[in-house]
Amino acid sequence: MSVLEIKKYPDPVLRRKALPVENVDGALQRLIDDMIETMYAAPGIGLAAPQVGESRRVVVVHVNLNEEEHPLIVLLNPEIVEYDGKVVSEEGCLSVPGYVSSIERAAMVIVRGLDREGRPVEIEAEGLLARALQHEIDHLDGLLFVDRMSPIKREFFRKRYMRRLKEPA
């Protein structure tokens, strides 16, 4: 397993609509293992394949905090089939380092997809897990949490972020 480089906004790979996984093969298993390693190393609670430069519909999520503990989830071709309620909470992203913002998300979701062996799975989630799943699935459609800010907040974010990118490290 290896820790991969996490692509940062405004890398164009983060804007691409990722392609569905068609073959559950050894190369895919390696990608999944590397994504898990990369998520833990960051550390983060979720990672989508475009964030490591792979435009494929693969996400890994591991919410494991005192308030909420869940097993590691690997999903191929995930789809949100049901949304319920609304909740606003702070959110950040490994591809947008140094920024958090209050983002509105569905309070509860039902997600369908395949597990890492290609078997169909359905997950009903609420709380932080629901938020993490919505955030990671957005990545597969080229969306970042900043796209869910109000236009004024987003423009303010963009200016500050780009200015910071130009500063010497």
Nearest approach in angstroms of CB 145 to Ni ion is 7
For Ni ion, the closer of residues 59 and 114 by Cβ is: 59
CB 67, min distance to Ni ion, A: 20
Interface map 64-83 toward Ni ion (x if CB under 5 A): --------------------
Q: Indicate which residue of 67, 136, 155, 167 is catalytic.
A: 136
Closest CB 119 distance from Ni ion, rounded Å:
26
- Please tell me whether residue 93 binds Ni ion under the rule CB under 5 A: yes
Query: According to the 3-state scheme, what is the secondary structure of the chain?
Result: CCCCCCCCCCCHHHHCCCECCCCCCHHHHHHHHHHHHHHHHCCCCEEEHHHHCCCECEEEECCECCCCECCCEEEEEEEEEEEECCEEEEEECCCCCCCEEEEEECCEEEEEEECCCCCEEEEEEEHHHHHHHHHHHHHHCCCCHHHHCCHHHHHHHHHHHHHHHHCCC
Closest CB to Ni ion: residue number: 93
User: Which of residues 77 and 134 has its CB atom nearest to Ni ion in the complex?
Assistant: 134
Q: Let me know if 136 is a catalytic residue.
A: yes
Residue 35 as a binder of Ni ion (CB under 5 A): the answer is no
Residue numbers annotated as active site: 136
Footprint of Ni ion (CB under 5 A)? 93
